[in-house]
Amino acid sequence: MAPTVITACSVRDIRFPTSLERDGSDAMNKAPDYSCPYVVLTTDVVGVEGHGITFTVGKGNEIVCHAVRVLSKMVVGQKVNEIYSDFGKFWQTLTSEDQMRWLGPEKGVMHLAVAAVVNALWDLWAKIEGKPLWKLLADMEPEKLVSTIDFRYMHDVLTPEEAIEMLKKSQDGKQEREAEMLAKGYPCYTTSCGWLGYEDEKIERLCREALEEGFTRFKAKVGADIEDDRRRCRLIRKLIGPNNILLVDANQRWEVQQAIDWMKELADSKITWIEEPTSPDDILGHLQIAKALNPLGIGVATGEQCQNRIMFKQFLKSGAMQFCQIDSCRLGGVNENLAVILMAHKFGVPVCPHAGGVGLCELVQHLSIFDYICVSGSLENRMTEYLDHLHQHFKAPCVVREGNYIPPQAAGYSVDMKESSLNDYEWPTGRVWQDLIASGKYTAE
């Protein structure tokens, strides 16, 4: 039988007008429109396709789409079995083309585009194998899984040999943990209650609904006004009770000392972590904040805008993060996320992925479930973000029950979107956008 060949790579600019309801609003992003470049890899086998996305918040989505089109020339014509036989090497080719590497390296728009293409490649692989992505990963032999990772610039903290040994040690109890995931799911926290633009009445209603749905972990946005933050945190703490978990997120708003001083004012609300307290690139700043706040029982969480595995290496090795927040689209797809999951395990830092957005929940649930089954073997201090937004646009949306992600069963990486949604929300020609432009609520720029 002839090998399967990738014959086309298409991308569509998909955007949702979430800014109209202030969904996603925080101290830094006041009116985001959740968006994604939507990639489809077509093969010479009828019906065998890979679907992938990356995530933006509106303007700029078209720039990432163009970057995907540039990268597509490196993918179209490739035999899939040759890609998957040494996926780590192929990943390196996508991030190391001499002239395009100058635009990063391995960061920014190009890395977002790499994520979209690589996520589509993993979706294709999982569909060919007839498994959901988490199961594809869980069933891999350690040597095969490690071969998908680019270990450049990581050898001082983790070598391929160490990674293989780590995975082999986690084989004990693997089947039991998989059965546990299928029965109970992976714990998640909700951010849907705490957006900065919400009125108190909406916060109270959403907190009550989340409690009724079984959530015990909640996150609120902070960073715009100290008095308002103190009041809102106390309100949410009162609503959720003394024993449930409360997290806060400043979305990079503060200077280092400002973050320390601000969080000391909120400490009486019994906060588990402060997320993105300052610039996501300031590793030493995060370390200073962690040293000041850890004695108060407040950890530092960051990673959703951490550019690559090399920066994660420094965060983890220095002790600058107590909660590691990988993102399925900020890093260069599954391969690089696997590298960070393994490094975090070596340093004993729980992986608590960032999600929300468009399809991020659908994607990252796979990584968390794999982490528990094959790497960490623990749920202590571990939780994955969940937002109740935009899931209706996916053919196999994530399922959350009693505050837990239930492992997906459909083959692939869970981001196949409905054709009606793609047609309605493609920018700027989709029906929804044309209606909004005609009404004057948006302009086609």
From first to last of its 445 residues, the chain has per-residue pLDDT tens of: 568 999 999 999 999 999 887 666 566 666 789 999 999 999 999 999 999 999 999 999 999 999 999 999 999 999 999 999 999 999 999 999 989 999 999 999 999 999 999 999 999 999 999 999 999 999 999 999 999 999 999 999 999 999 999 999 999 999 999 999 999 999 999 998 888 888 999 999 999 999 999 999 999 999 999 999 999 999 999 999 999 999 999 999 999 999 999 999 999 999 999 999 999 999 999 999 999 999 999 999 999 999 999 999 999 999 999 999 999 999 999 999 999 999 999 999 999 999 989 999 999 999 999 999 999 999 999 999 999 889 999 999 999 999 999 999 999 999 999 999 999 999 999 999 999 999 988 887 6
Distance set, CA 416 to CA 107, 118, 119, 161, 361 (Å): 26, 15, 12, 35, 13
Q: Are 436 and 424 in contact (CB under 8 A)?
A: no
pLDDT at position 443:
82
End-to-end Cα spacing for the chain: 49
Q: From CA 12, how far away is CA 15, in angstroms rounded?
A: 10
Q: Are 104 and 95 in contact (CB under 8 A)?
A: yes
Residues whose CB is less than 8 angstroms from the CB of residue 300 and which lie 6 or more positions away in sequence, other chains included? 273, 274, 275, 277, 286, 289, 290, 293, 294, 320, 321, 322, 323
Domains and CATH numbers, the chain: 167-406 (3.20.20.120)
- Catalytic (active site) residue 155: no
Residue that the structure tokens 């009550």 belong to: 208
Instruction: Indicate which residue of 354, 366, 389, 393 is catalytic.
Output: 354
SS3 191: strand
Residue that the structure tokens 């015990």 belong to: 216
The H-or-E segment that residue 289 falls in is helix 283-293
Q: From CA 314, how far away is CA 168, in angstroms rounded?
A: 25
pLDDT at position 23:
66
- Would you call the peptide bond into 105 cis, given omega within 30 degrees of 0 as the criterion? yes
Instruction: Indicate which residue of 127, 131, 135, 221 is catalytic.
Output: 221
Structure tokens at 416: 């196949």
pLDDT at position 444:
75
Distance set, CA 368 to CA 104, 329, 389 (Å): 27, 14, 20
DSSP state of 79: B
Enter the pTM of the model: 0.96
pLDDT at position 198:
87
pLDDT at position 441:
86
Residue 305 carries which side chain, given as an amino acid letter? Q
DSSP state of 376: I
- Catalytic (active site) residue 286: no
